[in-house]
């Protein structure tokens, strides 16, 4: 039997960062005795765990500016491990009770399930599908600035897939709701998990039927159309707007559009 194990060191919900710029790992001895542990997988022959934050821990669900800058410097493999651990531990922290009966739940199956101690119902981690879409009209790309985003920051529109919708229907509805235009020829490009809190980003391309926008002002501050040259310049850091960072799928989609 091999007892080698390591536990991801967290600073609240944020990753602890070592002198080498990577994630920090402790041992099982570092975890509180009554801690709920999630099994993340094996790495270099060691079982890797993350600790569910204690009850009442403040846990902001979205990525904050400090995390955004950390994400830009973490290695891709460290970022994937941290993202998976954060999604999972955040889900546990928010599901200490059974939605069916209100009873207390406890961690099961190494952290990939919670079971109700009262009615026995099993609950599973949640992943929400979200569409994020390039919308093209006469060779220009439509990009938006959400309410509350910094001046000059633009990205692709995005929205949750609702119950009863296909991916293509969700793209159509979202663009119609936020920009007031219809799209056609929706095609899939790429996907990416996004752990704040736990989304599956589904990147698509589509063609708009018009550029006469009716902007939903409860969601979006501005929506503009940009030429290929403008998007290319923005990706290089000297365009007419600021792009999403390299580790966001929107950046990848914009690169795909420019290169195509």
> Which pairs from 59-65 meet CB under 8 Å and 24+ separation?
59/12, 59/13, 59/90, 59/93, 59/94, 60/13, 61/90, 61/196, 61/197, 62/196, 63/196
Q: Which of 16, 42, 99, 108 contacts its own copies by CB under 8 A?
A: 99
Contacts with 201 (C-beta within 8 Å, 6 or more apart), sequence order: 130, 132, 158, 191, 192, 193, 194, 249
CB of 257 to its own copies, least distance (A): 17
Beta bridge partners of 39: 49
Q: Residue 55 is encoded by which pair of tokens? A: 């009850």
Could you tell me which stretch among 23-31, 63-71, 127-135, 218-226 binds its own copies (CB under 8 A)? 127-135
Closest contact distance (angstroms) between CB of 59 and its own copies is: 11
Instruction: By CB under 8 A, tell whether 146 contacts its own copies.
Output: no
Binding flag, residue 168, its own copies (CB under 8 A)? yes
Site for its own copies, residues 192 to 221, rule: CB under 8 A: 192-193, 195, 198, 200, 202
Query: Binder to its own copies among 88, 133, 134, 143 (CB under 8 A)?
Result: 88
Q: How far is the CB of 229 from its own copies (least distance, A)?
A: 29
52 closest CA partner among 24, 70, 31: 31
* 115 vs 211 by CB, closer to its own copies: 115
Q: Is 96 in the site for its own copies (CB under 8 A)?
A: yes
Closest CA to 202 of 216, 191, 218: 191
Stretch that binds its own copies, among 69-77, 138-146, 189-197, 252-260 (CB under 8 A): 189-197
Strand partners, 137: 140
Work out how close the CB of 5 gets to its own copies at its nearest, in angstroms, rounded to a whole number: 19
DSSP codes of every residue in 152-178: TB-B-EEEEPPTT--HHHHHHHHHHHH
Establish if 108 lies at the interface with its own copies (CB under 8 A). no
- Verify binding: residue 106, its own copies, rule CB under 8 A: no
For position 128 contacting its own copies by CB under 8 A, the verdict is: yes
Q: How far apart are the first and last CA of the chain?
A: 52
Contact predicate 206/187, CB 8 Å: yes
CA nearest to 177, candidates 215, 205, 204:
215
Taking the C-alpha atoms of residue 176 and residue 59, their distance in angstroms, rounded to an integer, is 33
Nearer to its own copies, 52 or 213 (CB): 52
- Write each residue from 68 to 87 as x if it is in contact with its own copies (CB under 8 A), else as -, in one continuous string: ------------x--xx--x
Closest CA to 196 of 57, 67, 61: 61
Residue 22, interface with its own copies (CB under 8 A)?
no
* Interaction between residue 126 and its own copies (CB under 8 A): yes
Q: Is 53 in the site for its own copies (CB under 8 A)?
A: no
Q: Which residues of this protein are in contact with its own copies, per CB under 8 A?
A: 80, 83-84, 87-88, 91, 94-105, 112, 123-129, 160-168, 188, 190-193, 195, 198, 200, 202
């Amino acid at each position: 039997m091999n007892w080698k194990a390591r536990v991801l060191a967290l600073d609240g919900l944020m990753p602890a960062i070592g002198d080498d710029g990577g994630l920090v790992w402790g041992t099982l001895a570092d975890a509180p005795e009554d801690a709920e542990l999630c099994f993340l997988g094996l790495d270099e022959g060691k079982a890797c765990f993350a600790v569910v934050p204690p009850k009442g821990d403040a846990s902001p669900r979205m990525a904050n500016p400090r995390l955004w800058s950390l994400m830009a410097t973490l290695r891709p493999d460290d970022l994937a491990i941290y993202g998976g651990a954060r999604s999972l531990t955040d889900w546990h922290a928010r599901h200490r009770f059974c939605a069916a009966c209100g009873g207390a739940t406890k961690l099961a199956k190494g952290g990939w399930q919670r079971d109700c101690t009262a009615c026995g119902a099993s609950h599973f981690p949640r992943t929400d599908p979200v569409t994020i879409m390039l919308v093209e009209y006469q060779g220009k790309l439509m990009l938006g600035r959400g309410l509350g985003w910094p001046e000059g920051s633009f990205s692709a529109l995005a929205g949750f897939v609702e119950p009863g919708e296909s991916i293509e229907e969700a793209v159509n509805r979202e663009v119609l709701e936020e920009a007031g235009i219809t799209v056609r020829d929706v095609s899939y490009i790429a996907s990416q998990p996004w752990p704040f809190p736990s989304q599956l980003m589904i990147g698509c391309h589509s063609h708009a039927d018009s550029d006469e926008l009716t902007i939903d002002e409860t969601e979006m501050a501005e929506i503009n159309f940009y030429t290929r040259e403008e998007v290319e310049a923005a990706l290089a850091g000297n365009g007419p707007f600021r792009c999403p960072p390299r580790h966001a799928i929107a950046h990848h989609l914009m690169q795909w559009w420019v290169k195509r």
